[in-house]
A and B are shown apart, each in its own frame.
Chain A
Amino acid sequence: MNSPVAKPVRMSYREACRQAIRDALTNDPRTFLMGEDVGLYGGCYAVTKGLLDEFGPSRIRDTPLAESAFVGAGIGAAVAGMRPIVEIMTCNFSLLALDQILNNATSIAHMSGGQFAVPLVIRMATGAGRQLAAQHSHSLEGWYAHIPGLKVLAPGTVEDARHMLGSALADPNPVLIFEHIVLYNAEDELDPAVASVDIGSAKIRRPGRDVSVLTYGNSLPKALAAAETLAKEGIEAEVVDLRVLRPLDNATIFESVTRTRRCIIVDEGWKSGSISAEIAARLSEDLFFELDGPIRRICSREVPIPYSRHMEEAALPQTSAIIETARILVGSR
């Protein structure tokens, strides 16, 4: 830990990720970071800039372009006693390591009858909004949330970016952290009294009585902006940051929706077979009689994310859609 400071510190999400890695490397000699361009280049999103000089090449380990092998190496190192952090440039490239993640990382503990654990953290960038087109803009966290044996985190605030990594490394299981590319530049005040976050629960970011907006990642600021506008119209939206997509925090979600009796899920993944579909299914299984209206979902349109600005915007969940959906849902009360 850094020496505690009394005053709130302002920092970017990117800097928060970097500080988290710095802490992890300082606190545990078993931890090292490996991935493509994490060292000399400083990270494809500049998260790890400067860390090579600080920690040297065996702890900030540049790898060749071999996602399957270096993710598998992270798994092997974790199984054999290290606490590695593997960085994959973007979740799109994680598909080249899917075999290792699914067939090794999440299978070894169960398949060995509990003889081995895989305390590995994989960080990757996710999401759209920077006109990077289809092969660099997808949101695959909901997909990964399908897999038993994984924990799937999606920090949507600077605080979570700062502290989730530490909690993930303390967990005996493989944990994936999806850092949203648009959020890297986001800034916020960090409460120095907070030294860790719990990675088992969702968090209410704004309380409200009329409708629950369940979301995560870069849709969180959009939901909060929508709630501001709605408040001026007398609609109090409660914004729930899911934060942990696997295992889902049913308790917080159900409690919120039971209170507001209305629910909108905002998810940057595609709608079909998404995490929003999973949540909607759980709500309809368990909370059907508590609802005053249909569950609404705002997701990415079902297209490979396009390059051109207006088309990209049209493909993604936007604040305006959240506002309109809430008006209709609450207006029907």
Chain B
Amino acid sequence: MSERLHIDRQHGQQLFRDMLRIRRFEAKCAELYQAQKIRGFLHLYDGEEAVAVGVMQALEAHDAVVATYRDHGHAIARGLAMGSLMAEMYGKVEGCSRGRGGSMHFFDRARRFYGGNAIVGGGLPLSIGIALADKELRPGAVTACFFGEGAAGEGEFHESMNLAELWELPVIFVCENNLYAMGMPLELAEAETDIFRKAQAYRMPSEKVDGMNPVAVEAASLRAVERARSGKGPSFLECRTYRFRAHSMFDAQLYRTKEEIALWKERDPVPRMQAWLEENHMLSAEELKRIEDQVDVEIDAAVAFAEAGQWEKVEDLERFVLMDEVPE
């Protein structure tokens, strides 16, 4: 793991624990998908955990998050209750979006989590507006906007890059470059495959980050957040990462080789973080066991919560199409 940030025992374990929570939560999701408890699209974050976990270390409660349809990791790392996420995927009214959003559309007002957005690039303009409002209403607050490298092909990406820098907005753009947009390999989609260079064209500070290393992501995020908080404007992080599973639950994965997947698995952030902590005597066998047990208990409780949840009344179908008031 990177040495650019001093990581103590407690913090190192926290990074590991959060990545493990996401990893095991999603393993459970996949299982529940097979059991048809969870339906619809289910995009797993397996392999990319270091990005969300690293970025969230740099955020505070008054900051905002805009995520994509691959939003389980962001939501968990941001502190949304696992039970409310699982209930959402079950379609239950106790879900974080009352069962109306499902896996792709987690929302949480209390944590300023402005949704998983399932339109590629659709969240970037939103982050511009949130940051614009925060400049007026919550000085010092920062918006972290996540998107895949596929978004860089969209006009909304470029429009938003320009506005963010032009108006010096407190946004950190986090590009999760996992090298594929569904089955489209980066090098077949982009003339410039270093996505961070596109941000440079908008005069935005940007860097390429090892997205398989939570410490590196955290260090880069702290720099970006510090810049945004102090009114100097946006930054761009291109986090190089990899998803280990299919795009959604199943695809034939004809677009990549088993060898390539195996190569990236050697850099799997979860076992690597564990090994690094152990080598540096920051994680004892008992501590590891305790963390694993806690995570398993949390996941079991989330499943039980979802199972016990209720279905929203059908009479409420049209509720919230038009709002009666703006929630405070």
Contact = CB atoms under 8 A, between A and B. Distances in A.
B119 A80 contact: no
B323 A74 contact: no
B172 to A, nearest CB: 15
A63 interface: yes
A99 interface: yes
Interface stretch (B127-135, B177-185, B231-239): B127-135
A69 B130 contact: no
Interface in B275-328: 319-327
Q: By DSSP majority rule, is chain B's interface helix, strand, loop, or mixed?
A: mixed
B326 A113 contact: no
A70 B320 contact: no
Interface in A98-136: 99-100, 103-104, 108-117, 119
A70 B163 contact: yes
Interface in A53-84: 63-64, 66, 68-82, 84
A100 B123 CA distance: 9
Contacts of B136: 30, 82
B97 A115 contact: yes
A70 B156 CA distance: 10
Interface in A141-173: 148-149, 151, 172-173
B162 A116 contact: no
A146 to B, nearest CB: 13
Interface residues of A, number: 40
A191 B162 CA distance: 45
Interface in B117-175: 117, 119, 122, 124-134, 136-137, 155-156, 159-160, 162-163, 166
Nearest to A34: B132
A68 B119 CA distance: 13
Contacts of A64: 159, 162-163, 166
B25 interface: no
A79 B114 contact: yes
Interface stretch (B32-40, B42-50, B100-108): B100-108
A114 B100 CA distance: 10
B324 A110 contact: no
A73 B326 CA distance: 18
Contact of A82 (B98, B128, B133, B322): B133
Contacts of A73: 125-126, 128-129, 132, 163
Select the residue from B107, B127, B131, B320 with max chain A CB neighbours within 10 A: B320
Contacts of B133: 76-82
B300 to A, nearest CB: 25
B109 interface: yes
Contacts of B212: none
Select the residue from A64, A69, A119 with max chain B CB neighbours within 10 A: A69
Select the residue from B107, B131, B326 with max chain A CB neighbours within 10 A: B326
B320 A77 contact: no
B320 A79 contact: no
A15 B223 CA distance: 48
A301 B320 CA distance: 37
B20 interface: no
Interface of A: 30, 63-64, 66, 68-82, 84, 99-100, 103-104, 108-117, 119, 148-149, 151, 172-173
Given A64-B159, A73-B163, A104-B117, 11 more contacts: A63-B163, A68-B156, A72-B160, A73-B132, A75-B125, A80-B133, A100-B122, A104-B126, A111-B115, A112-B109, A116-B327
Interface of B: 64, 95-101, 105, 107-109, 114-115, 117, 119, 122, 124-134, 136-137, 155-156, 159-160, 162-163, 166, 319-327
